Amino acid sequence: MGATTPDNIMQLSMGFWASKAVLSAVELGVFTALATGPANLSDLQTRLKLHPRAARDFLDTLVALRLLEREEGRYRNAPDTDLFLDKAKPSYIGGILEMANARLYGFWGSLTEALRTGEPQNEAKHSEDFFAAIYAEPARLRGFLEAMSGISAGAAQAIAAKFDWSKYTTFADVGAAQGMVPVVVARAHPHLKAIGFDLPSVQPIFEEFVNRQGLADRIRFQSGNFFDNPLPNADVIVMGHILHDWDLAEKRKLVEKAFAALPNGGALIVYDAVIDDDRRLNAFGLLMSLNMLIETRGGFDYTGADCQAWMRDAGFVSTRVEPLLGPDSMVIGFKPD
């Protein structure tokens, strides 16, 4: 047997060092700057407005974290950072990291208080409703919607590839945000038409994104509140990173409303960082549930078995769980013919 060491404990306990280095790099635009080509220390220090005392250690930290590469004194992006953290590329996922840096990083400093009180530690801590605050301010809303695109991009590609869309002609994304899922799925399956369903303030941002992708002829926006209004009628309804925001009664209500909106033979696709049934493996999903503790008054993440049970109680049949990308999985249920 090998010697027991504190390595894992130290890596986890001081993990916020690496996390903040990455988030600051995104905020400073390091990876976007290097997407145009390699640069030396002096050049980057000037372009990024870094203090001479900080620049070398900061950039070499990103090398050690395998986000940058350095050869003969010149820095360049690693392949994954060049693809996913260059703002100029459509594959950019940094929106969620920008939100993490601006909001979540500070709120997570109050996790102990959340664990003891069960109360949110975000804007709601000061009597400001989280969603109302974000949706009321255009610039803040755009940042949030771009963050949702970043966290949904990989899952959207997997849903487009793994679900059998050939049997259907229409789908609706409930809580569509900027429209990443409708865009990715519609582009992959030209026979489909889509609806993005979200609050009215989302419409101009959604339509701008869809128009930029050249898909306005097949994707339209429908405004509404998914608790107060009926859900759109479509062959397939998608709910991505939605259910975990709400308490159990609200989760069940949304699943039931999806069942009511679907035609016979229709399908519901729910995706989140679904926790493994034994609650031992998907650390990201469990941490996301703690994030819901910090962000919401009743939200929590759930296992595949939990979601299938809610679907079956609502009337869905042939439910199943399929992994997507990273920690995300989709739970699928079908309305009987």
73-78's contacts with Cβ under 8 Å and 24+ in sequence apart are: 73/40, 73/41, 74/38, 74/39, 74/40, 75/34, 75/38, 75/39, 75/40, 75/41, 75/44, 76/34, 76/37, 76/38, 77/31, 77/34, 77/35
Angle at 325 between CA 32 and CA 64, to 5 degrees: 45
Residue tagged 């601006």 (tokens): 102
Q: What's the Rg (C-alpha) of the chain?
A: 21
Among the options 126, 189, 191, 244, which is catalytic? Answer: 244
Three-state DSSP class for residue 8: helix
Annotated catalytic, 244? yes
Question: CB of 135 within 8 A of CB of 148?
Answer: no
| Nearby residues of 24 by Cβ (< 8 Å), 6 or more positions away | 58, 101
Q: Active-site positions?
A: 244
